[in-house]
Amino acid sequence: MIALGQFLEVLIGGLMSGVLYSLVALGFVLIFKASGVFNFAQGAMVLLAGLALVRSLDLLVAWGFPLWAAIILGIGFAAVIMAITAWLIERFVIGPLVNQDALTLFMSTIGVTFILEGAAQMIFGSDAYPLRLFPTDAWFLFENLFPGGILLNKLDVWGGFIAGILVAGLAIFFERTKTGRALRAVADDHLAAQSVGIPISWIWFVVWLAAGLVALVAATVWGTKLGVQFSITFLALKALPVLIIGGLTSIPGAIVGGFIVGAGEKIAEVFLGSYIGGGIEYWFAYVLALAVLLVRPQGLFGERIIERI
Amino acid sequence: MLYREAGQFKTTYAEDMAIFPIRQDRIALGILLGIAFVGVPLLATFHIWPFNSEYLLWAILLPFLILALAAIGVNVLVGYCGQISLGSGAFMAIGAYSAYKLGTGVHIPLAWFGFAISIPPLPVLPSILLGGLMAAIAGILFGIPSLRIKGLYLAVATLAAQFFFDWVFLRVPWFTNYAPSGSVNAPRLDFFGLAVNTPIERYLLCLIFITVFAVLAKNLVRGNLGRQWMAIRDMDIAAELIGIRPLYAKLTAFAVSSFIIGVAGALWAFVYLGSWEPLAFSIDRSLQLLFMVIIGGLGSIMGSFVGAAFILILPILLNLIPTQLGVPLSTETITHLEFIIFGSLICYLLIKEPHGFARLISIGKEKLRLWPFPY
């Protein structure tokens, strides 16, 4: 008999870590929505943003800036780096590849991944750098209800909080601003959007910038959790099933997908892993995604795929 | 001037349907095969430049042949049938581990039924081919979702195969015959009593495999089945309307592709690596194969060879250049530079020629036909 307390702890821990996956998945969704590009480079962008942030922070603190100023300046610097990256990608890779098929665009983002990984590590160094922006200790809840209480990481709570703000902000941006409307128009139909005078390259720059900033946010949380290092790029692979379950075009889907993957993964690992050997976290999310796709080929929240001849 | 088909009349249907209808193509291919089958082994036997060390044979030609074989397999699925797969590494692994298990003897105790399945160790050739067959079965299983899922969704779904099999071969000790380190050694390579040991023998073995499979694949994609695949690729709904069964066409593509990839995986493990661990067939391998196919040209057997050569040799060259030029760079910087240059070249090629080297080759052929006159 599994104790209720343990189950709740695993469930809550899973849901919370799922939100952290959603942070990475959001970047994918943004770019896919606006340009139909499946951006494999999101993980590398998280690495780049994290390295830029942590290295500039270290430097600023060493120069004697107060911590709050250093954090603001560091985040500003990383944001500028992401803006430059977005511009370069739009100008030199995605721009010239307009109207190519999805597979070519996907492969070009793998090329971008290589470039970003190499450049980020060459410029900012390739060690593991610790980042301490958020508290990493834990709370124990309901100690009077369950023996030992329920362990809850403060970092995960922060992650959920930030993800909530991010989603709200993106929703307002997409629904209420002029650029957001233009973005939705471009996502609907490139040619039609162009013909009513929407500057498509500017829109794509904005999208890549937004994805870069989401990567920066993800980097602050994940950098605190794991330290900023090369293995952070594998987050992209962790975020893919989240994306697929939620649907490639849905921002709320990315969050719900994160919940499902996080909770499912942890529950499977704890309660199933002991029977069939550990480490099933590694593939469980993908098999879950496969199962969801068999029922709903466009993901839970994705737009219905309509095919015409 | 040289490359012109004027005067070559086709008087029978057989001539009209030949693989290489142009005489110059046949001659060029004959010369190429001659060099590959006779020239290279001769040069290597007498250690004539560039074969004065075994480096070229071992580190470039052998992996090139095996990965080109795998690339042909991926091309059948991605290039001809249009089903994007990121799980090719897993199918290579299935081929390799199945061949290993069959080559060392299979013993499955079925305690519930009171008996055990035992297969004595098979010779190398059947175990490699049966390894390919196992990969084909796995390919069919993981191809079933393709009937409902399309495009990039399918690509991510095939990642499930990749990660699942990575885990299986890492965590289930039965597959590695309970080797404590998790790495396994290939059985002795013995083909009909002939031992294959030296690099030249291994090279020839792989060459025979790839020649046979390239011809088979080329003929398959020219035939009825290949046309069905291409119809599905170009527009699956329209293909269904003109009477092509998507179930049959897609699953045969998955089966044929996985079979070739599985055989390539078994060769990679047995002939090239010798001893290996699951890491040899990770997601990086899948991406590498997909790159080969896209850079080489989707839907082109010849392109698979060119793509494999390019993707394999480029990093080696990039690694050599700084040391040759004598640029004082730390190894770390060189690795990062390699990343950047490799990525930039990939992007550049995709922008300049999205249809890959195969398209460049056919443009070159057209130009050659007119040469030296510009019209």
Note the pLDDT tens digit of each residue in B192-250.
878 888 888 899 999 999 999 999 999 999 999 999 999 999 988 999 999 999 999 99
Query: Is the pLDDT reported for residue B23 higher than 80?
Result: yes
Q: Do the beta carbons of residue B199 and residue B54 sit within 8 Å?
A: yes
Cβ atoms A280, A269 nearer than 8 A? yes
Q: Where is A286: in which H helix or E strand?
A: helix A281-295
All structural domains of chain B with their residue ranges: 19-52, 53-370
CB pairs under 8 A between A and B: 136
The pLDDT value recorded for residue A307 is 72
**Identity of the amino acid at B335:** T
**Which B positions 14-73 lie with beta carbon below 8 A of chain A?**
none
Kindly list the residues from chain A whose CB atom is less than 8 angstroms away from the CB atom of residue B287: 110
Phi then psi for residue B306, to 5 deg, are: -65, -45
Radius of gyration of chain B measured on its C-alpha atoms: 22
Q: How far is CA B206 from CA B32, B62, B72, B196, in A?
A: 16, 7, 14, 11
DSSP secondary structure of A190-252 = HHHHHHTT--HHHHHHHHHHHHHHHHHHHHHHHHHHH-BSGGGGGHHHHHHHHHHHH-TT-HH
CA of A254 to nearest chain B CA: how many angstroms apart? 15
Instruction: Please answer yes or no on whether A248 and B339 come within 8 Å at the CB atom.
Output: no
Residue A307 lies in a domain: no
Segment 101-140 of chain B within 8 Å of chain A by CB: none
Tell me: the pLDDT tens digits for B302-316? 999 999 999 888 888
B149: chain A residues, CB-CB within 8 Å: 293-294, 297
Predicted pLDDT of residue B252: 96
**B339 chain-A contacts, CB cut-off 8 A:** 114-115, 117-119, 121
B248 inside 8 A of chain A by CB: no
* Model pTM score: 0.90
B163 touches chain A (CB under 8 A): yes
B174 touches chain A (CB under 8 A): no
Contacts of A287 in chain B (CB under 8 A): 160, 164
Q: How far A299 CA lies from chain B's nearest CA (Å)?
A: 9
- Percent of chain B's residues with pLDDT above 70: 99
- How close does chain B come to A237, measured CA to CA in Å? 9
Determine contact, residues A75/A52, Cβ cutoff 8 Å.
no
Both structure tokens of A179: 């650029």
Using CA atoms, how far residue A73 sits from A53, A78, A82, A132, in Å, is 9, 9, 14, 16
Distance CA B5, CA B28 (A): 14
Q: How far apart are CA A196 and CA A189, in angstroms?
A: 11
Please state, in angstroms and rounded to a whole number, the distance separating the CA atoms of residues B371 and B202: 41
For residue A23 the two structure tokens come to 């942070």
Q: What is the pLDDT of residues A69-104, one digit of tens each?
A: 888 999 999 999 999 999 999 999 988 887 777 788
Contacts of B59 (CB under 8 A, 6+ apart): B316
In this predicted structure, what is the pLDDT of residue B136? Answer: 96
Question: How far does the CA of residue A59 sit from the closest CA of chain B (Å)?
Answer: 21
A149 lies in a domain?
yes
The predicted model gives A21-41 an average pLDDT of 83
Which among A103, A114, A297 is the nearest to B84, CB-wise? Answer: A103
From the list B145, B172, B335, the residue facing A290 with the nearest CB is B145
B365 touches chain A (CB under 8 A): no
Residue B170 contacts A, CB cutoff 8 Å: yes
pLDDT at A309: 67
- Band (A154; pLDDT cuts 50, 70, 90): confident
* pLDDT beyond 60 at B330: yes
Q: Is B342 on the interface with A (CB under 8 A)?
A: yes
Phi, psi (rounded to 5 degrees) for B81? -100, -10
A113 chain-B contacts, CB cut-off 8 A: 343
Cα–Cα distance for residue pair A186/A198, rounded to 1 Å: 8
Question: What is the band of A46 on the pLDDT scale with cuts at 50, 70, 90?
Answer: very high
Question: In the block, which residue shows the tokens 């090629």?
Answer: B349
Helix (H), strand (E), coil (C) string for B16-46: HCCCCCCHHHHHHHHHHHHHHHHHHHHHHHC
The more confidently predicted of residues A142 and A173 is A173
Q: In chain A, how many domains are there? A: 1
Contact B346 A283 (CB under 8 A): no
B182 pLDDT more than 80: no
- Please judge whether B347 and A286 are an interchain contact, meaning their C-beta atoms are less than 8 angstroms apart: no
Q: Where are the alpha helices (DSSP H) in A63-153?
A: 67-89, 102-124
Q: Which of B148, B152, B287 sits opposite A110 (nearest CB)?
A: B287
pLDDT of residue A1: 46
pLDDT for the residue B190: 81
> In 3D, which of A257, A217, A214 has the Cα closest to residue A239?
A257
Closest Cβ–Cβ partner in A38, A108, A279 for B171: A279
Residues of B in contact with A248 (CB under 8 A): 152-153
Instruction: For residues B68 and B63, give the distance between their C-alpha atoms in angstroms, rounded to a whole number.
Output: 8
Query: Cβ–Cβ of B350/A248 closer than 8 Å?
Result: no
Q: How near does any CA of chain A get to the CA of B231, in Å?
A: 13
Whether omega before B372 lies within 30 degrees of 0, making that bond cis, reads: yes
Residue A113, C-beta contacts closer than 8 angstroms, at least 6 positions apart: A40, A41, A43, A44, A233, B343
Cβ contacts of A103 on chain B, cutoff 8 Å = 78, 84, 294, 298
Contact A277 B171 (CB under 8 A): yes
Q: What is the pLDDT of residue A67?
A: 84
Residue B290 to residue A107, Cβ atoms within 8 A = yes
Rounded Cα distance, B167 and B162, in Å: 9
Q: What does the pLDDT look like over A194-219, one tens digit per residue?
A: 899 888 888 889 889 988 998 998 88
Q: Do B157 and A283 touch (CB under 8 A)?
A: no
Residue A278, domain extent:
2-295
- Residue A309 belongs to a domain: no
Q: Name every chain A residue with its beta carbon within 8 A of the beta carbon of B333.
A: 122
Averaged pLDDT score across all residues of chain A: 84
For A164, A266, B128, B167, the CA distances from B94, given in Å and listed in that order, are 42, 28, 11, 12
Q: In this complex, do B150 and A106 lie within 8 Å of one another by their Cβ atoms?
A: no
- H helices of chain B, where? 13-16, 23-34, 40-45, 55, 62-74, 88-104, 124-143, 151-171, 199-222, 224-234, 236-241, 246-267, 283-296, 301-325, 331-352, 356-370
Q: Mention every residue, 6+ apart, whose C-beta is less than 8 A from residue B307.
A: B71, B291, B292, B293, B294, B295, B296, B297, B356, B357
A107, A115, A294: residue with CB nearest B340: A115
Structure tokens at B9: 């009349």
Decide if B164 and A113 are in contact by the 8 Å CB cutoff: no
- The reply to whether A161 falls in a domain is yes
Which tops the pLDDT comparison, A116 or B46? A116
Q: Count CA within 13 A, CB hemisphere, residue B264.
A: 34
Q: Which of B124, B61, B98 is nearest to B184 (CA)?
A: B98
CA nearest neighbour of B186 among B232, B240, B128: B128
Q: Which comes out higher in pLDDT, residue A258 or A235? A: A258
Q: Give contacts of A283 with chain B, Cβ < 8 Å.
A: 160, 163-164, 166-167
With H, G, I as helix, E, B as strand and everything else as coil, classify residue B9: coil
What does the pLDDT read at residue A2? 59
Q: Which of B159, B168, B175 to mutate to test the interface with A (most CBs of A within 10 A)?
A: B159
